[in-house]
A and B are shown apart, each in its own frame.
Chain A
Amino acid sequence: MNQSDGKKLDPGRQVWILVVLGMVCIGLEVVVHFFMRTAIGYTHIFYILLILAAVWYYRKALFVAIALVAATFITSLAVGDFNWATLLRAAMFLVVTFIVAWISEERDRGRLEIVAQKEAIEKEHYALVGYLSEITLRIKNPIKILRDNLLAIRMEFDGKIPDIDIVKMELSTQLAHAEQILSNFQELNKDVVEEHTEIPNAYRDFLTR
């Protein structure tokens, strides 16, 4: 995982922002520290660069922090004010960058997990809708057709004696339809049972019998 999926800024613009901020930081280091001979205050600007880099590029931002630490050390040694405060400042650059990078990484990992879970739920939902749709198409509606066909056969007896051979043929056809509907139902049950391993064996056997 390199970058946050939730970010709005495009990667090109992020790089430009970091480059500009980096140049500002180096400029401050040179102008304020090297020429004005003071190491107070301006380094707070560095945190903007470090935090943004850590949010966007996670632990890779440590390279930026190391670069800033190096710049601070070089100017401190050149100016001659290298002391415990310089070391503390450098340590803070690294620690803050690491913490922000870690939090960003965890946050985005969590976000990706939620997205993956959501997709899995949606997939199951679509599968359920598909199953119900197929059940309706291949079982409920055919049963309605079967019922209406049987009703039509029954109506042939109203007021007259129908051709028995024709009625036998019609009933045999409806019987074949009914057998196929039953077979479809068993097939769909089998598919469900095979897909859901959590169904106990007794029910598995009952559903596919």
Chain B
Amino acid sequence: MAIDFSRLGEDKLFLVLSSADMLKKNNAHIIQTLVGRGYRVVVITTNQPSAVLKKHYSTDGIDISRVSFIDAITKYALGKIPPGQENCRFINSPSNLTDLGIAITEVLNSLAGEKTCLLFDSVSTMLIYLPSTNISKFIHFITSKLRLVDAAGIFLAVEKGLDPLLLTQLTTYVDGTIDMDVQQPGNTGIGGQ
């Protein structure tokens, strides 16, 4: 699948909408695209444990040494951290926005000077753990932080999984919205470059 991030560089922040069944595949495609473009990727995961994502990325031939994780689901869902988890910070629960915010700030600071992109997987899963108003405020916090450190950011969400108000708010925080289920005209698709 080709993903049109042709404006990545000029625009920094994107809301990427995907169908639920394609979310995991699209996540891997985005990572592949970003790593291919020389980005250092920080994945904030609330939907799948980082160990699962790492396994999928490895299967897809992605260089996972270029990928760091802020994992907010493993400790909450499994109750423990699996052994051998490198490049990964664990948060107690997806609803712990304070720790999540601190972890994001620290990771972004540690990667200062590098070409960094943050992938948030996913806004829709966060809705299981938090009211939409809190999520909107948190996404606003992250986007502001990303703009300050001049890093890119991609926010994954399930298409049709957001209410109109939240979608409007998120759209105003980012520079562009990409619907991965819609074939975009003139899509050069950096995945294919």
- Write the residues of chain A forming the contact surface with B, with a CB cutoff of 8 angstroms: 133-134, 136-138, 141-142, 144-145, 147-149, 151-152, 163, 166, 169-170, 172-173, 175-177, 180-181, 184
CA distance A166 to B82 in the complex (A): 11
- Provided the pairs A152-B24, A166-B51, A173-B48 are in contact, do residues A141 and B76 lie with their beta carbons within 8 angstroms? no
CA distance A136 to B128 in the complex (A): 11
B interface, by DSSP: helix, strand, loop or mixed? helix
Since A145-B23, A173-B52, A173-B78 are in contact, a sample of 20 more A-B pairs with Cβ atoms closer than 8 Å, ordered by chain A residue number, is A134-B132, A137-B132, A137-B166, A138-B127, A141-B124, A141-B127, A145-B161, A148-B20, A148-B23, A163-B55, A170-B48, A170-B49, A173-B49, A173-B77, A175-B77, A176-B76, A177-B77, A177-B128, A180-B129, A181-B128
B interface, size bucket: 20 to 34
- Provided the pairs A148-B23, A151-B21, A173-B73 are in contact, do residues A142 and B78 lie with their beta carbons within 8 angstroms? no
> What mask results when residues 36 to 68 of chain B are scored 1 for a CB within 8 Å of chain A, else 0?
000000000001110110010000000000000
Name the distance in Å between B39's Cβ and chain A's nearest Cβ: 26
CA distance A166 to B125 in the complex (A): 19
| Chain A contacts for B48, CB-based, 8 A | 170, 173
Q: Looking across the interface, which residue of chain A has its beta carbon closest to that of B158?
A: A145
CA distance A169 to B85 in the complex (A): 14
Q: Looking across the interface, which residue of chain A has its beta carbon closest to that of B125?
A: A145
Q: Would you give 7 A-B contacts (Cβ < 8 Å), ordered by A?
A: A137-B162, A141-B161, A142-B125, A149-B47, A166-B51, A170-B52, A172-B77
| Chain A contacts for B124, CB-based, 8 A | 141-142, 145
| Chain B contacts for A145, CB-based, 8 A | 20, 23, 47, 124-125, 128, 158, 161
- Provided the pairs A133-B163, A145-B161 are in contact, do residues A169 and B78 lie with their beta carbons within 8 angstroms? yes
Q: Is B192 part of the binding interface, using a Cβ–Cβ cutoff of 8 Å?
A: no
Contact A169 B52 (CB under 8 A): yes
| Chain B contacts for A147, CB-based, 8 A | 20
Name the distance in Å between A98's Cβ and chain B's nearest Cβ: 53
CA distance A134 to B130 in the complex (A): 11
- Provided the pairs A145-B20, A152-B21 are in contact, do residues A137 and B78 lie with their beta carbons within 8 angstroms? no
CA distance A185 to B5 in the complex (A): 38
Name the distance in Å between B4's Cβ and chain A's nearest Cβ: 24
Name the distance in Å between A104's Cβ and chain B's nearest Cβ: 43
Name the distance in Å between A62's Cβ and chain B's nearest Cβ: 53
Within 8 A of A (CB), among B80-129: 82, 124-125, 127-129
